[in-house]
């Protein structure tokens, strides 16, 4: 790929991020922005800027967003989430992370504050922030 193509891709991804930042900063928006940033880093790495990721120890997420505002939940706290399976589709309720309803058979996890989310959604979120997306109840860091 030429430099122009890569810069064009990065510009496109940045435009997406700017649009997300204009909207409500929901948990879903932050996860989408994180994914867009990951794609930008991927483009830069393909362009040869490999040092971007080697400045941190292997396996560490260099887009962990842990700038003090976002503190991830501990794995112990995540292990204590109460997991259930939706016995029927719950059209009237939606997961505050992905804004989709609960389909029959899907894994649901409840925080200690008793707010429920898709298991995958809340785990992705808690890896970024230990605060409940709905009421900001704090899990142990």
SS3 116: strand
Pick between residue 15 and residue 85 the one whose CB is nearest to Zn ion.
85
The distance of closest approach from Cβ of residue 66 to Zn ion in the complex, given in angstroms and rounded to an integer, is 21
* CA atoms of 38 and 54, how far apart (whole Å): 15
CA 34, 38, 42 angle in degrees (round to 5)? Answer: 170
Pick between residue 6 and residue 29 the one whose CB is nearest to Zn ion.
29
For the four alpha carbons of 95, 99, 104 and 106, in that order, the dihedral sign comes to: negative
Pick between residue 16 and residue 123 the one whose CB is nearest to Zn ion.
123
**Residues of the shown chain interacting with Zn ion in the complex, contacts defined by CB under 5 A:** 95, 97-98, 113, 115, 118, 121, 132, 134-135, 137
The distance of closest approach from Cβ of residue 134 to Zn ion in the complex, given in angstroms and rounded to an integer, is 4
């Amino acid at each position: 790929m030429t430099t122009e193509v890569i810069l064009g891709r990065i510009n496109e991804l940045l435009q997406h991020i700017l649009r997300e930042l204009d909207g409500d900063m929901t948990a879903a928006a932050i996860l989408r922005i994180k994914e867009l940033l990951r794609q930008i880093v991927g483009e830069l790495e393909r362009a040869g800027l490999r040092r971007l990721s080697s400045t941190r120890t292997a396996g560490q997420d260099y887009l962990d967003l842990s700038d003090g505002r976002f503190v991830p939940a501990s794995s112990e706290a995540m292990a204590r989430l109460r997991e259930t399976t939706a016995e029927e589709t719950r059209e009237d309720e939606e997961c505050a992370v992905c804004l989709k309803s609960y389909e029959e058979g899907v894994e649901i996890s409840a925080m200690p504050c008793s707010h429920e989310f898709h298991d995958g959604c809340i785990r992705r979120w808690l890896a970024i922030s230990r605060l409940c997306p709905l009421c900001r109840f704090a899990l142990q860091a």
